[in-house]
Amino acid sequence: MIKKTIWITGGSTGIGKALAIKFANEGWNVAISARRENLLEEISNEYENITSFPLDVTKKENCKEVFNQIKNKFENIDICFFSTGTWDPKKEKDIDVEQIENVFKVNFFGTLNSIKAVEEYFKNKKSGTITIVSSIAGYRGLPNSTGYGPSKSALNNLAESLYFDFGRSNVRVCLVSPGFIKTPMTDKNDFNMPFLKTPEYAAEKIYDGLVNKHSFEIHFPKSLTMILKILGFLPNRIYFGLIGKLTKYQKKN
């Protein structure tokens, strides 16, 4: 039986790393990419069926080159999981244009570069799954999120658009919206994170959603995401009031 293959960007830490290990333990070939080559090598040295492919997703040509390397090694790619992201809460409290540009360069355009690199392959293959990792921060506007939230909201819209475009070629587009997961990125947060979960928890939910289910969005934990989805339907005045109270935001007179 031919092993299936998944390509994971953002695979050196957090959700990406946990998911790589989960798929490897399930018998898949796993290609992992990130900028920190040393961390990728540590993971690939520990797991026989995980292979390191260092990558800077902000470089379009690099994305194409790396995907060609993965294709040449494994021939058949079944799932692409694009989860590269950046976040600096200290720089999100004011409008820091340079910071916001960098966040979009990594979170949005880095993901877009990765998708572009695999577009022709999947449309010709007429099967497979492209997975875009967003966040609950992309549902609606939140305080102190001038770059991260908007970048994730853009990914949500992109995933919905690509759902139709790739669907014509029988390729599944899947959106992943995690709640608070304990990773090096969320460790920067200086506020209480409700329903905080481990990367391993996230990996289990994502694996189940990608392999066993066929819904467009994989979101977790439901105890948090369902509340936020309901809040998303509220009129602006009520939404702003509730979020303001929950986050201790007060309007200046």
- Catalytic positions are 148
Q: 136, 177 in Cβ contact below 8 A?
A: yes
Q: What secondary structure does DSSP assign to 168-235, as a single string?
A: TTT-EEEEEEE--B-STTGGG--S--TT-B-HHHHHHHHHIIIII---SEEEE-HHHHHHHHHHHTS-
d(CA 11, CA 36): 10
Q: How far is CA 118 from CA 12, 39, 65, 82, 220, in A?
A: 21, 24, 11, 11, 27
d(CA 113, CA 65): 12
Sheet holding 5-9, edge to edge: 50-52, 29-33, 5-9, 79-82, 129-133, 172-178, 217-220
